[in-house]
Amino acid sequence: MARWQRFNRFDRFDRWSIATLAATPVATDAMAGEADWPSVTAPLPADWRGRGGGIAVASAVIWWLVVLAWVRTVDWVHRDATKHGIAPAFWSSVCGLPLPLTALVAWWIRSLAAGIALMVLAWLVPVGVYAFFRNRRVTDSERILTPGHGRRIVARLLAPLGIEISESVREEEVLPKVELAALGGKDEAENKARLTAAQAAVGFEEFRRQMLAAVVARAATAVIEVASDTTVRHEVDGVWGKPRVRQPPRSRKEKEAWVEVPPSSRDVGEAVVAAGRAVCGLAAGAGTGRFAVRVDGRPRNARLTLRTERGVRQAVIQIESSDAVFKRLVDLGIPEPVAARLGELVAAERGLVLLSSPLGGGLTTTFDLVVESADRLLRDFISIEDAARPPREIQNVKPVRYDARTGVTPVAALADALREYPSAIVSRDVRDKDLVVELVRLAAEGKFVVMSVKASDAVEAVTRVLSCGVPPQQLGATLLGSLSQRLVRRLCVKCREETPPPLQLLARLKLTAEQLPHIRKASDAGCRLCQGSGYLGRTGLFELASGATLRRAVAGGGSPEQLAQAAAKDGMRPLRDAAMQLVVDGVTSLEEVQRALTGKGGAAGMLPPAADKPPAAAGQAAAGRPAGGGKNP
């Protein structure tokens, strides 16, 4: 109890009362009775708090609440300063160091109100100074201790009650920060000189805005066509179309809409192309150059190709994707049984694994994962590649390149590589018939071969190999499996809508309306997440033809129909069945499946099709995408 008398500033003993009692004369004779006590009681001082050694609970609670709020604020300042790169250690010290001294002083101040006021002042003043410097480096929608900040706080507090308060956020504040950088120069000085020259060009800012629009739309390719006017097209999730912008609703009852960006003048297009040419260091006319698009500080490689198609000047910009890197085959959407069977095939010591897809079917990613899932430590892998289009390098796979510009044919490059006695050979997008024949021959002689071709399904891939002159008996003896794929767009999970399934679908699936009451479709209006398209991202459809029945049918020279029947007997699930399952699961729409399965594959022969190029201006506005599909990712 003596400790509280000395140190508790909120509840001290009444020292005045003790002193008064000590000074009061007390009769020594017990017989004096009550007459010896003073008849008049001395007045109490104004700050008298009564007797006792307990703690004033309310005062202590207020003091501790301020301390805890202060500690929480210092933690937020540190995290926020780290996020924005504003000297987190310095500002944490500025906002946190006054805490222990001020809290101790406030504990001993006689007046509770004065102590708490001192603590609040020492708490909020450093935060206000931090907010002053911080707000100068962030957008309006991120500023703190402002009327807009208060409005956002109130909106979040009232949202659980169903009360909506619109927040005034400008469109440009939520867009990523996009900057351009030059690449491909002899050194960094040349790249800086290119960027400086481009920034001085009239159309540089418009070129940067076009790159921003492409990034926001998730476009893999953007085509700027300069004719009597300037039009822009984006390839998003394998579908071509004009860029669209949001049209705000005029009232709360209306939904936001998305409209196509109107064409701009020819002069604007010329200025944009000139700025892009300056960034890449290209001379006038056709050519290809590289530059970088920095999105919130993260660079993405981009390639600019200038050319003329049917009298129309085009600037084709291909932007590197920022999608996550796939680690396993199942991450692509391959079903577990198919992925497991494919893993068994790539573990074989000899034979041929055939991969295929239509143009733009995403086969590059699948090819890389299939090769990476093979054992490349105990076996020597080589890759036969086109020097004009080198793919991504795979660890422990030695690239061997052929080049038509120097007269080195694919078969000649393969012959040179065989001198090192590799045990496995891979080659993607094979279009040379002689190379196809040679790869199948090597597979029959004991090599392990992975090869990809353009085809619409797994059976057609086999027939295309046979059409190159491969003996059916040889292919039947070496074929391990043929994997084919298609890409379909996923429905946007935010705005997708339910719709009754058509009767034809129920009949095909052998289901009743009670078993399948609804399927999903894309929203007509879309949303900000999908940029009004109703779709967001893609997934794969896969079919694997593999088994003894198929090999016997191939060796016997069976027709495509007979090969398909043999593959079905071996357990192949066709692409259409896989697509219907995605429709039933609500992953994609029936319209998207019909578009993906009935579209032109673009694999008309082993030679490079014209559809490899981005679209020309003539005759493609109505289609909404280039003839024959887009580029092969």
CA distance 68 to 470: 78
Phi, psi of 205 (to 5 degrees): -65, -35
Helix (H, G, I), strand (E, B), or coil: what is residue 60? helix
Q: How many CB atoms lie within 10 A of CB 485?
A: 25
Are 549 and 570 contacting, i.e. CB atoms less than 8 angstroms apart?
Answer: yes
Helix (H, G, I), strand (E, B), or coil: what is residue 629? coil
Are 368 and 392 contacting, i.e. CB atoms less than 8 angstroms apart?
Answer: yes
Are 379 and 423 contacting, i.e. CB atoms less than 8 angstroms apart?
Answer: yes
Exposed e or buried b per residue across 604-613, where buried means at least 16 C-beta atoms within 10 angstroms of its C-beta: eebeebebbb
Give, in order, the Cα–Cα distances in Å from 94 to each of 99, 124, 151, 468. 10, 11, 27, 75
Are 266 and 260 contacting, i.e. CB atoms less than 8 angstroms apart?
Answer: no
| Burial (0-12, 13-18, 19+ Cβ within 10 Å), 9 | middle
CA distance 56 to 10: 6
CA Rg value for the chain: 37
pTM for the model = 0.65
**Chain-centre distance for alpha carbon 99:** 42
User: What pLDDT is stored for residue 604 in this prediction?
Assistant: 31
CA distance 261 to 231: 9
- Compute the CA torsion angle 79, 83, 85, 90 (nearest 10 deg): 0
Residue with tokens 């508790």: 8
Q: Which residues contact 185 (CB under 8 A, 6 or more apart)?
A: 191, 193, 194, 281
User: What pLDDT is stored for residue 616 in this prediction?
Assistant: 35
Mean pLDDT by 10 residues, the chain (633 residues): 39 41 43 46 50 60 82 85 80 82 77 79 84 75 73 69 55 71 87 90 91 90 91 90 80 73 90 91 82 87 88 88 73 88 91 90 87 87 86 87 87 89 91 92 92 92 93 93 92 90 88 89 85 88 93 92 93 91 91 82 32 35 33 35
**Chain-centre distance for alpha carbon 595:** 25
Could you write out the DSSP letters of every residue in 510-540? T--TTTS--EEE--SS--TTTTTSSEEEEEE
| Burial (0-12, 13-18, 19+ Cβ within 10 Å), 96 | middle
User: What pLDDT is stored for residue 25 in this prediction?
Assistant: 46
Are 443 and 351 contacting, i.e. CB atoms less than 8 angstroms apart?
Answer: yes
Give, in order, the Cα–Cα distances in Å from 330 to each of 288, 362, 540, 542. 36, 15, 10, 11
**Chain-centre distance for alpha carbon 120:** 43
CA distance 343 to 111: 77
Domains and CATH numbers, the chain: 57-138 (no CATH), 178-319 (3.30.450.90), 329-599 (3.40.50.300)
Q: If phi over 0 gives left and psi between -120 and 50 gives alpha, with beta otherwise, what is residue 391?
A: beta
Angle between helices 57-84 and 98-108 (to 10 degrees): 170
Are 602 and 626 contacting, i.e. CB atoms less than 8 angstroms apart?
Answer: no
Are 505 and 519 contacting, i.e. CB atoms less than 8 angstroms apart?
Answer: yes
| Burial (0-12, 13-18, 19+ Cβ within 10 Å), 45 | exposed
Number of H helices, E strands in the chain: 21, 19
Q: Which residues contact 71 (CB under 8 A, 6 or more apart)?
A: 99
User: What pLDDT is stored for residue 140 in this prediction?
Assistant: 62
DSSP letter, residue 608: P
Tell which residue, 180, 212, 226, 215, has the closest CA to residue 199. 180
Tell which residue, 542, 546, 580, 541, has the closest CA to residue 563. 546
Helix (H, G, I), strand (E, B), or coil: what is residue 618? coil
Tell which residue, 170, 178, 264, has the closest CA to residue 215. 178
- How many degrees, rounded to 5, is the angle at CA 131 between CA 125 and CA 137? 155
Tell which residue, 533, 545, 540, has the closest CA to residue 596. 540
- Residue ranges in 373-457 assigned as alpha helix (H): 410-417, 433-444
Residue with tokens 């044919």: 409
Helix (H, G, I), strand (E, B), or coil: what is residue 597? helix
CA distance 337 to 335: 6
Both structure tokens of 88: 């987190």
CA distance 352 to 345: 9
Both structure tokens of 252: 């709360």
CA distance 401 to 387: 5
β-pairing, 535-545 vs 244-247, is unpaired
User: Whats the size of the chain, residue-wise?
Assistant: 633
DSSP letter, residue 478: H
